[in-house]
Structure 1
């Protein structure tokens, strides 16, 4: 195996996608140079500089840390083509026009290093045609690499070879995209719009067609086709607005221009309503109006009949919402198929259309059914892929129904389902089996890719029916109850996985942690805290289990809560001083007690998408699991004898304002992750990296830190922060209760009523945290906040 190391990337084109791809390379610490045309006036690199400036304003943020925008090197095609010689990967991301791309290629080709990979981020143009005119050597190193918008957050990248692309080029690129940039790679064929856009845009067109047929408005359709179907909550029309109706029109045109002999060709007509909006300059979100328009605070929807905007907010009918809650997919699909409600008939129709489409096109657009499912899950935000849905709903029954609809003239075209749908193992089970997923080209079941990079993913993204083991049942279970599972895979590392909802921390989790620490010290090299849904968007831990603690509080008041809080503090301290390394594998939300759990581990391995913070003030409380203690300890360590207060401000502000990191990179800046903590870009690799770290620490002679006394700022620090809080309260920036909470936090992180420079123990902070927490539990304003959060899930400002 030879290492393929990408030392530098060039991105050609500083438009929306190009600039964001460059930003994501910087997130991953890959040096990048961003090119565009020289500006006609002002600074020559003005176009690129404006694009970089815009990255800081975009939401969701393309950069994990805004300050890193400065790390993108700027360039233009007139003066800086020589920079290409130092790049191992060049990604072209200019507008979707074949002639423009060819002009640019002629300009850059002579400057590309002999071993560099050259790729286009086209969303649908033919990769083979784009490579026309290249010499043979460059043709072998050229391919399509299609990121989805926004590139930092969308997991999918489609990799498309030309007829001449060398296989090892694709393997190298797949490994880089998977580990370094954290992507899910699907290999696509060189067909118009590749896989995700081909199926996804067809799905949107079919949805618009069926919505018109059944007389449904866009807000009702979005309610039906969003979260209720386990898809992106923006549904169909809102998604089109976000993507841009002109962009959508462009993708549809690619289908019209290149798919004349497709049996579904009639369905690729640009919907009249879309054409009208584009003509009127209503291009969706970017132009302020599309299928929706914001008028004051109200979101209005387009009335298809009149072309006017009217009040929105239409929702699914109760009976249909109930059907969609049905857990059994077989019953759910049967109920939709048999429904007499137009919304039910509409939903059956859009499922039928997509099933019909993917069956007819499987042999031409993808190598196998799994690739179509992953493309839709990772590129369009579907929880379940279309083939998976079909198989889970009863393969042969659905196939029969589709054929009945085709015969009755209700389908979008009269092409029959291909014969393979009714033959052999597919007819029995469906397209996904433990042996692999069905390929219509080779008429066989194709196993998963065996590239070395996937050895880093102990539990790869599963597909329904593949029988793959997952993190919920893998390995050898040491102990399991309804709160936790302790397990291992015979690799010297014990894993504790939390099983509570959002992995909240109650008595069961704390007892599980105590048991895990004892077991790890006795029989293992380390302990990893990792949750089975870490890669599927689950939380690390959303904090303390308030719901479970409520009955105890109702019966015995704040005093009854004290033993539980003491147990939590003691267990976190036992973790900090454990004799084997404890590694927290953080992904998603780590809030309140979840943040404190991570802070007390020996090391943290965090997914880039980690949202970490002490948020207790939102429920009128203060952190009581050692979060404020850690802020004080870390500030003292950083200050190294200089004024601690300067270093304490960050920790105080984070806790007092319930500030949550928007990425793991930002969490480092906020002090919730330390410089030596590891950031992982692919969430499927989190467990692997955490175990490697735990074993390496043990093998390097791990010892827990020695307990030391902590120098504090005392009354001086407390007084200084309090003075600023007084100004904020008197200026009306914070409420009286916010002031009380802020002052309590200031008192604790400063070490309380002691002289500046006093030395106190960690226990001293913990006792102060616990005392303040219990006092607040009895406070009516805090109780209002707790009840408000439990009832509405939103913080109460009182």
Structure 2
């Protein structure tokens, strides 16, 4: 962690400013949040006898922003207590307090004159080493800093956070013409290590990198929709995952961002760009202007291209021909259906480019224009193609960046097709197409990844030393063993990694087999084991389809054997004589969390969403999760105190029964999924590194495994108390009869069955109860209905 940044001021408490403040507070920084002084009293303030001179009034705007952060969903910080690190004030009384700050971020309204004024005033109060930055989505960094003294301009730069700052990985850092390169390097390292950001260095050009390419892609898509005679929902079918983009695609994204916001950005592009032909691309279509005039600006206004039907709850789409909303419809296209079934973005794009119908022609047109534009603008907006690709992946959540698409689809083949269609190739494409191999990325000496630069040469893609790439390790011969579901990879220094790579990292026989082999390997010749990988989510749980198929065939012995084998594999890891460290991130559900429960230590990504969610499909956790939650409830009782588990057990029971999922790693500690001593990593790219260091630390400090536990259970009294709560929920209509049945099975396991309070039982006893309950529930038709519904829709069924 950079020791020089401890206190930060954010100037501007609007949507972005307050959200940036929440992010910084969540990273453990002291934050000062300032905004303007109100020019009039509210009726409530007047009634209380306050005046415009009252400090409460003068700080009102920032104070209200802080209060709104407490109510905001999804949460803007990792834990509600993070917000206590934010102090509020105003831009008239509190500017002298900037002298105590290490970093000052201007985040006021996106107007050049206002930003210039605030930045110039802030510059008068900075201490000599403090960094001053502006959060702007596209205004000139040099112009904003014009009024600052030369010594401040050396410490001035753009820091463009993407909204919402907590959840969007991209941070564009934009040096001004006078910015000291050492300041850029310092802020790049701090933003990655402490804030967990993916940092891209951008040039001081209109809208920088991500918004420049992303806004162009939106503009081209709007034009193509009309040209190809498609509707918004049909376009979204084409421009979502099938093209390697997020599920929100084009028009759902516009609704989320705000259609008026898009108009603002597009108009800024028209004003800032010198080329008339390029400016014309960003002309706002008449139907967009009409939507803004009607106030149909997206989700914040209750509707935009989509709205929720108040009676049915179904999402409807705007019919631009009638200006009325209608039910959504899927685009009928064999080409799209074939592409959608393919596993990787590159494969899906290749399928689309085979053509054959209007949908495929639309996809090719949009893709072609975006790829050409990115290549044409490379020298203007970035130093190399890696910066452009990372910006689009981190900022717009594309699976592949534009230049990764060029390589995946074949630069030479694409160039020939485009030239045949009358397109002019950008210099970068013509240059790369003339080489062998014709790629924007290549492997240099020693397997180092190199990328094409704006200068027309190749250079190494910077990889922080704290980043471990399993792909590169395997390419370098570090693969120890593997099967279709998981692999064992040598991380060096005597640490082995169990990498999950089944579809959605679901746990099935292959993964369990590799868990068993990992335990054998580590016991025999390794110092420690790390469980982690580089996918999108850590693990979604057990292979639900496999379990359902066995249940439909009434293969109860097979199900029992699979559950028993998983339980034993988890126990084996828990009592391994060498330390095991799990590195969860993203969705870590069901069996994935049960694997984490087995680890001696968990090193979780800050954005880790952990939960035992089996009740949502009519089951209970049976890989040791139910047992572990009961054990953790019992462990909270101080030594020597009479065993009364009710308060702790009730909390644990409700957490599992309601399938609660943490909103962050910090929240997972509150729910009992993580322990106080478990670590949290903000920068996802260094998660495996941090997990490896934790494993080595345990190994080198003389790690000793825990002794098999005996668990004091709540017994019949605790079970009776919990069942009363369940009955109350059923009477209130909050749960169904089948929910009651699931809850009673869960209660039996967590309280130990028909035993007196305080009876101590071995873990194996509760594991047997888990397995019995699982088998009983999966034999129920209503449970199988829930499983089918989840597999078909991705949503729980309440039956």
Instruction: Report the TM-score when normalising by structure 1.
Output: 0.91
1:116–1:141 contact (8 Å) kept in structure 2: yes
- 1:632 is the counterpart of 2:633: no
* In 2: Cα distance, 1:588 partner to 1:330 partner: 23
Change (3 A) 1:311 1:31: same
| Counterpart selection for 1:449 from 453, 458, 462 | 462
Q: More deviation in 238-247 or 52-61? A: 52-61
* In 1: Cα distance, 2:193 partner to 2:370 partner: 32
Change (3 A) 1:143 1:478: same
Report the counterpart of residue 525 of structure 1 in structure 2: 527
| Counterpart selection for 2:621 from 623, 641, 657 | 623
Report the counterpart of residue 421 of structure 1 in structure 2: 429
Report the counterpart of residue 132 of structure 1 in structure 2: 146
Q: More deviation in 700-709 or 67-76? A: 67-76
- Deviation digits for residues 321-354 of structure 1 (CA, Å, limit 9, x no counterpart): 1464486999977876674644333222212221
- Deviation digits for residues 683-730 of structure 1 (CA, Å, limit 9, x no counterpart): 211110110000001111111123343323222211111111122222
Q: More deviation in 311-320 or 621-630? A: 311-320
Change (3 A) 1:227 1:674: same
Q: More deviation in 247-256 or 566-575? A: 566-575
Report the counterpart of residue 743 of structure 1 in structure 2: 744
Q: How far off is 1:289 after superposition?
A: 3.4
1:480–1:486 contact (8 Å) kept in structure 2: yes
- 1:162 is the counterpart of 2:162: no
| Counterpart selection for 2:410 from 376, 379, 394 | 394
Report the counterpart of residue 602 of structure 2 in structure 1: 604
Report the counterpart of residue 24 of structure 2 in structure 1: 25
1:53–1:69 contact (8 Å) kept in structure 2: no
* In 1: Cα distance, 2:346 partner to 2:622 partner: 47
1:299–1:312 contact (8 Å) kept in structure 2: yes
Report the counterpart of residue 410 of structure 1 in structure 2: none
Q: More deviation in 204-213 or 666-675? A: 204-213
- 1:171 is the counterpart of 2:179: no
* In 2: Cα distance, 1:354 partner to 1:59 partner: 33
2:412–2:433 contact (8 Å) kept in structure 1: no
Report the counterpart of residue 465 of structure 1 in structure 2: none
Q: How far off is 1:425 after superposition?
A: 6.5
| Counterpart selection for 2:468 from 434, 458, 464 | 458
2:214–2:396 contact (8 Å) kept in structure 1: yes
* In 2: Cα distance, 1:121 partner to 1:742 partner: 49
Q: How far off is 1:606 after superposition?
A: 0.8
Report the counterpart of residue 53 of structure 2 in structure 1: none
Q: How far off is 1:217 after superposition?
A: 1.9
Q: How far off is 1:780 after superposition?
A: 3.5
| Counterpart selection for 1:360 from 376, 395, 399 | 376
Report the counterpart of residue 432 of structure 1 in structure 2: 441
* In 2: Cα distance, 1:560 partner to 1:345 partner: 48
Computed over aligned residues only, the root mean square deviation of the Cα atoms, in angstroms, reads 2.5
Report the counterpart of residue 548 of structure 1 in structure 2: 546
Q: Provide the secondary structure at the position in 1 that maps to 2:584.
A: strand
| Counterpart selection for 1:321 from 336, 350, 360 | 336
- Deviation digits for residues 389-430 of structure 1 (CA, Å, limit 9, x no counterpart): 1232221232233334346xxxxxxxx433442236654413
1:4–1:172 contact (8 Å) kept in structure 2: no
Q: How far off is 1:567 after superposition?
A: 2.5
Q: How far off is 1:119 after superposition?
A: 0.8
Report the counterpart of residue 292 of structure 1 in structure 2: 306
Q: Provide the secondary structure at the position in 2 that maps to 1:489.
A: strand
* In 2: Cα distance, 1:161 partner to 1:543 partner: 44
Q: Provide the secondary structure at the position in 2 that maps to 1:520.
A: helix
Q: More deviation in 331-340 or 35-44? A: 331-340
* In 1: Cα distance, 2:554 partner to 2:96 partner: 74
- Structure 1: unaligned runs, 5 residues or longer: 408-415, 461-468
- Deviation digits for residues 276-331 of structure 1 (CA, Å, limit 9, x no counterpart): 3223333222222333344433544444445x124152433323414644869999
Q: How does 1:111-130 map to 2 (within 5 A)?
A: 111-130=125-144
Q: How far off is 1:259 after superposition?
A: 1.1
Change (3 A) 1:776 1:236: closer
Q: Provide the secondary structure at the position in 1 that maps to 2:529.
A: strand
Change (3 A) 1:622 1:344: closer
* In 1: Cα distance, 2:751 partner to 2:231 partner: 58
- Deviation digits for residues 200-224 of structure 1 (CA, Å, limit 9, x no counterpart): 1111111111222222222211221
Q: Provide the secondary structure at the position in 1 that maps to 2:722.
A: helix
* In 2: Cα distance, 1:342 partner to 1:712 partner: 64
Change (3 A) 1:374 1:571: same
- Deviation digits for residues 237-284 of structure 1 (CA, Å, limit 9, x no counterpart): 222222122221221122111212364222122222222322333322
Q: How does 1:579-728 map to 2 (within 5 A)?
A: 579-640=577-638, 641=641, 643-728=644-729
Change (3 A) 1:285 1:476: same
Change (3 A) 1:455 1:333: closer
Change (3 A) 1:638 1:361: same
Q: How does 1:14-93 map to 2 (within 5 A)?
A: 14-39=13-38, 40-41=40-41, 42=45, 43-44=56-57, 45-93=59-107
Change (3 A) 1:224 1:684: same
Q: How far off is 1:444 after superposition?
A: 1.1
Change (3 A) 1:662 1:361: same
Change (3 A) 1:446 1:658: same
- Deviation digits for residues 352-403 of structure 1 (CA, Å, limit 9, x no counterpart): 2212222222111111122111111111111111122123222123223333
* In 1: Cα distance, 2:619 partner to 2:760 partner: 26
* In 2: Cα distance, 1:693 partner to 1:8 partner: 28
1:245–1:283 contact (8 Å) kept in structure 2: yes
Report the counterpart of residue 202 of structure 2 in structure 1: 188
- Deviation digits for residues 551-598 of structure 1 (CA, Å, limit 9, x no counterpart): 555566434433333322222222211111100111122222211111
2:790–2:797 contact (8 Å) kept in structure 1: yes
* In 1: Cα distance, 2:348 partner to 2:580 partner: 44
Q: How far off is 1:550 after superposition?
A: 4.7
* In 2: Cα distance, 1:739 partner to 1:324 partner: 43
1:329–1:393 contact (8 Å) kept in structure 2: no
| Counterpart selection for 2:401 from 385, 390, 399 | 385
Change (3 A) 1:528 1:127: same
- Deviation digits for residues 644-681 of structure 1 (CA, Å, limit 9, x no counterpart): 22122221111111111122111111010111111112
1:420–1:426 contact (8 Å) kept in structure 2: no
Q: How far off is 1:226 after superposition?
A: 1.5
Instruction: Report the TM-score when normalising by structure 2.
Output: 0.91
Q: Provide the secondary structure at the position in 2 that maps to 1:540.
A: coil
* In 1: Cα distance, 2:655 partner to 2:347 partner: 48
Report the counterpart of residue 762 of structure 2 in structure 1: 761
* In 1: Cα distance, 2:158 partner to 2:429 partner: 31
Q: More deviation in 338-347 or 161-170? A: 338-347
Q: Provide the secondary structure at the position in 2 that maps to 1:747.
A: helix
Change (3 A) 1:796 1:210: closer
Report the counterpart of residue 476 of structure 1 in structure 2: 478
- Deviation digits for residues 12-62 of structure 1 (CA, Å, limit 9, x no counterpart): 111111111111222222222221123443433222222223224433332
* In 2: Cα distance, 1:38 partner to 1:172 partner: 33
Q: How far off is 1:787 after superposition?
A: 3.7
